[in-house]
Amino acid sequence: MILKPGDVPRAGKRLLAAGLCALVAGLSAPQTASAHPHVFIDGGVDFVMDASGDLTALRITWIYDPLASLFLLEDLGIFGLDDSDLTPELRAELAASQTSWTEGYDGDSYLWHDGDPVALSGPVDPTARIEDGRIVFTFQRETATPLRPGSDTTVKIYDPTYYSAYAVTQAARIEGPAEGCAAEVEPFEPTPLLARLQESLAAIPADGMPEDTEIGARFAEKAHIRCD
């Protein structure tokens, strides 16, 4: 399990900032890991529907940045950046390393329906692969009961502490019956005030954390599903 410094309850998928900084220095790369955020994750959200057209799960994709991918692979003793380097056992170990979540960690994905939060399960059927030197994780998060999306069903993707920065770079898809439904991504668009806030967070050292432990919600990426 990879622990995030100073935030053990949320640590299920975190990289050690000190180790990441050391790796950056050793590679003579820009010191991006010394600022907030430390890890950059692209990916997407798909909506999984049952035969009745009700939402039963989210399919989450995380695509780690190249440096974080390299550090995580080496931390697990995997010294290659090609998917063919992964045996079934290593693939399973890699998937588990970022989807074995500690209690209290919410997976940086939050489902809201008609203004109310919807509880989601932990990761189901996790997978891991390597594409172009980046690790790609996928998994499902299930709803306790199926729900019919309306005009206000939204997934917010963010790390509350802004240790990781997310970008929903893939189109939101609907898996299963989608009659009368449409999905779309709403990227984060910084206002001048939020842009200045991001700049101030970049000054936080690698071993520091923002005073506001929910600061990341201000930078949330969103995916919507709307049904008639």
Cα pseudo-dihedral 92, 96, 99, 100, rounded to 10: 150
Indicate the pTM of the whole model: 0.84
Mean pLDDT for back-to-back runs of 10 residues, the chain (228 residues): 37 42 40 69 97 96 95 89 90 95 93 96 97 96 95 94 94 94 95 90 79 88 95
Phi, psi of 135 (to 5 degrees): -80, 135
CA distance 225 to 151: 8
Q: Write down the pLDDT at residue 19.
A: 42
CA distance 129 to 85: 10
Q: Write down the pLDDT at residue 4.
A: 43
CA distance 81 to 73: 8
Q: Write down the pLDDT at residue 5.
A: 35
Give residue-wise pLDDT tens across range 184-200. Answer: 999 999 899 999 998 88
